[in-house]
Amino acid sequence: MDGGSGSDANIRWLLARQYHFIAKGFANRRAHVWAEKVRRWDAYDDAFLAEIPSPIDWGRPVRVFIKKRPKKSQFCYSYYLSTLKLPSKGHFMSLYDYRGGAEVEQFRNDKMGLYLASRRKNDFLAQKGLILLTDLAHNLLADFHHQALIGTKFEPFAQKRIVRDLLQIPGLLVFDGDKLKKIALLSTHPNSKPLLPCLKKYISGD
């Protein structure tokens, strides 16, 4: 969340509902005060980062990061909050800095991979239902990529290539009752053989 959403009330709302988050703090004056508690600054791009114990009891563990950035003849300060466990301050800041690309990449993938831009319904509720189904498909594909394709030749595949090059391989599913017993893919397809271990991993949950 950007600073406009990182108020104490919003943070407490998220924490009370067990959400995890990365948020920029709302109050710049607080950032200046908390910066006085810093004993060590580490360089990060054109700025400096530090982590301090949270001066506020949030009821859950919350990490507090301070950033100072030179501007003309003085420093500008901002602070950030997170519930995530990350290996370094730099990792945290990189995740926050990439926040703006999330919406762009998701919309682009949905438009290209799930053909959201090509499908239109005249009825408002029908269009709303289509968008919700697209969101569901987006989440299922993201889960499939994370659980089955990481560490394989298909890891670079985004939604469009997953749908076009993997999920359209002709094949057969064999069930025993409600239990999947066998997956058979067209052997002449170039992606059939390397995809089978991915599907087995995804189904087993390993």
Same domain membership, residue 149 and residue 64: no
Q: How confident is the model at residue 52 (pLDDT cuts 50, 70, 90)?
A: very high
Could you tell me if 119 and 198 lie in one domain? yes
Contacts with 1 (C-beta within 8 Å, 6 or more apart), sequence order:
10, 21, 22, 23, 24
For the entire predicted model, the pTM comes to 0.51
Q: How confident is the model at residue 55 (pLDDT cuts 50, 70, 90)?
A: very high
Distance CA 186, CA 170 (A): 6
End position of a domain, from candidates 41, 69, 97? 97
Residue 107 and residue 91 share a domain: no
3-state DSSP call for residue 71? strand
Residue 193's SS3 state is helix
Q: How many CA atoms are closer than 13 Å to the CA of 100, on its beta-carbon side? A: 3
Tell me: do 141 and 166 sit in the same domain.
yes
Tell whether 115 and 136 lie within a shared domain: yes
Last residue of a domain, which of 70, 97, 124? Answer: 97
Mean of all residue pLDDT scores within the chain:
86
Domain boundaries, position 175: 103-204
Q: Which structure tokens are listed for 194? A: 């390397």
Question: How many domains does the structure of the chain reveal?
Answer: 2
pLDDT per residue as tens digits for the range 70-128 = 888 889 999 999 998 888 888 888 888 777 555 555 556 666 667 766 667 788 898 88
- Clarify whether residues 147 and 66 are in a common domain: no
Choosing from 97, 115, 149, the residue where a domain stops is 97
Check whether residue 83 and residue 172 sit in a common domain.
Answer: no
Instruction: Give the integer Cα–Cα distance in Å for 203 and 35.
Output: 49
* 113 plus 195 within the same structural domain: yes
Same domain, 63 and 121: no
**Shared-domain flag, residues 73 and 123:** no
75 and 111 together in one domain: no
**60 and 14 both lie in a single domain:** yes
Percent of the chain with pLDDT over 90: 44
